[in-house]
Amino acid sequence: MEPTPTILAELDNYLKREALTITQFAERSGLHTGTLSNVMHGIRPIAMQQLDQITMAMGLAEGYFYDLYIDNYIIDRSPDWRRVGPLLHRCAELNKLDAVQRVLLHIMDKLMYLPLLFDTAEELFAQGRSAAAILLYESVAEGEKSQHSERLALCRYRLFTLGLSDDQDTNLLAATHFEPFLERLDEAYQLDALNELINVNASLQRWSKVEQLAEKMEHKATIQYEQGSKRERAPGELKKPLIFYILYAYLARANAWRECGDYMKGLYYVSLYADASWVKKPSEEEERVIKQFSEWAEANRYMYHLMAGQVEVLVDYVNYIAARENEIFPGLCKIILAANKYHINIDSILERFESYLSFKEEQSQIGKISQQVTAERYTRVLAELAVYYLNAKKFNRGLCLVLESLESSIRINCDSAILRCIGLFEQFRPFASDQALERYKILIREVQTLNEKKIGFSTRYM
């Protein structure tokens, strides 16, 4: 039976091979000779920084010995946070997620490490090391005894935000898993959590859920505002000014009511976020928020009238969005929809704003727009643009856009969007070029693969 390899044995072999003394290697590695000697004689364990110095001096890749370090100093001995903590940080830095997982599996029996693991997860989260942070949050959540602990709720919140992607199925799952923990979150996080839940549900077109969450956010933010909660944010608190959450709740509720067909109620909520005169002595940041919501109110009023068939507002709407670059793409989406619904010729508008009809991150005066919302909006605008050109008998261009929309629908894993594209393509198949048919065949295979994954079968027959 072969002896278990150790780092010290590897180092010893190296020194013999290179004919180096401890003193010479200490000089090469930047370690103190006495320290290195103690380490090599097993008098003291190797610290992470020392291991990194030794590894570099041996000419090996960063993290080369980490798996062995886990065996020698974490698993074979009683784990000490003075070694575990720095090891987790370094593994995260080098993206050695398997190593992180190995460490976690070993130390999770010791629940006293839970607070330390949580703190480390928060540090990694702040550094943007999401993959490693997710592993730690999952471990903490699993080990948490009390279902109602704030730490568990915060873990669930972090896992929710880190789990969001372009995939709508994944996002729905993430939102559904997190929502029961919302009320257990510390108040400082609840408004941002509600904001993010509203955006995810809006991207999924779940408007009754949006209305429910927005009502909750309005209620909580209003109470905090009326209680005179600090409007100036301290680091680590709300991401936006308090008044944003109140105004955004109105905006979300307006959209939700409009979706339910109640335009009057929708316009009522528009009037609420159009006028923020109740904000006393607004700061510079609050002024920016108020101005942005006021502009959105004006744009949305045009849009509501347009979607209700009052086509005469189109010119004013176009002029309005033309003066506000951030609103051109969302505005075009609505104009194309209205054009299809009311058979309006918008060729000149499309030509004027052609460069804006591409997928890019959306911004407002107060921050980024949710990536999930943008992805859904882009997928839909492609399909609507396709319908516009197909109705105008520009079949080649229309079918090309159908295929682009299908590709985007597959990327965001939206079944209804996929079916719509398939339906459109099949309806106009006789007009499709050979190239389009070939591309369609490839995309349908991807749809089949996606479907098979969902229902859990293999795709061997393909």
Question: Residues in the site for another protein, rule: CB under 8 A?
Answer: 195, 199, 202-203, 205, 244, 248, 251-252, 254-255, 258-259, 292-293, 296, 299-300, 303, 307, 327, 330-331, 333-334, 337, 341, 362, 364, 366-367, 369-370, 372-374, 376-377, 380, 387, 390-391, 393, 419-420, 422-424, 426-430, 448, 451-452, 457, 461
In the complex with another protein, the residue whose CB is nearer, 51 or 406, is: 406
Residue with tokens 């550094």: 127
- At 213, list the tokens: 């969450």
Q: Cα–Cα–Cα angle for 208, 211, 217, nearest 5°?
A: 145
In the complex with another protein, the residue whose CB is nearer, 106 or 291, is: 291
Amino acid at 161: T
In the complex with another protein, the residue whose CB is nearer, 174 or 387, is: 387
Residue with tokens 């020392």: 50
- At 162, list the tokens: 């880190």
In the complex with another protein, the residue whose CB is nearer, 133 or 336, is: 336
Tell me the C-alpha distance between 189 and 182, whole Å: 9
In the complex with another protein, the residue whose CB is nearer, 216 or 258, is: 258
Asked whether the CA dihedral 269, 270, 271, 277 is positive or negative, the reply is positive
In the complex with another protein, the residue whose CB is nearer, 39 or 421, is: 421
Which strand (E) or helix (H) includes residue 105? helix 97-107
Residue with tokens 């209680």: 227
Asked whether the CA dihedral 436, 442, 446, 451 is positive or negative, the reply is positive
CB of 331 to another protein, least distance (A): 7
In the complex with another protein, the residue whose CB is nearer, 65 or 329, is: 329
In the complex with another protein, the residue whose CB is nearer, 144 or 376, is: 376
| Burial degree of 160 (CB within 10 A; 0-12, 13-18, 19+) | buried
CB of 240 to another protein, least distance (A): 8
CB of 283 to another protein, least distance (A): 18
Closest to 153 measured CA to CA, from 96, 193, 94? 193
CB of 316 to another protein, least distance (A): 14
Question: Residue 45 in 3-state DSSP?
Answer: coil
CB of 353 to another protein, least distance (A): 15
Closest to 162 measured CA to CA, from 191, 189, 124? 124
CB of 459 to another protein, least distance (A): 9
Displacement of CA 3 from its chain's centroid (Å): 46
CB of 369 to another protein, least distance (A): 4
CB of 198 to another protein, least distance (A): 9
Closest to 417 measured CA to CA, from 457, 450, 453, 442? 450
231 backbone dihedrals φ, ψ, rounded to 5°: -85, -20
Q: Report the 3 state secondary structure along 237-259.
A: CCCCCHHHHHHHHHHHHHHHHHH
367 backbone dihedrals φ, ψ, rounded to 5°: 145, -175
CB of 444 to another protein, least distance (A): 8
Closest to 42 measured CA to CA, from 11, 21, 83, 85? 11
β pairing state of 363-364 and 367-368: antiparallel
In the complex with another protein, the residue whose CB is nearer, 143 or 331, is: 331
CB of 166 to another protein, least distance (A): 14
CB of 458 to another protein, least distance (A): 9
175 backbone dihedrals φ, ψ, rounded to 5°: -65, -40
In the complex with another protein, the residue whose CB is nearer, 134 or 386, is: 386
In the complex with another protein, the residue whose CB is nearer, 174 or 424, is: 424
Displacement of CA 243 from its chain's centroid (Å): 24
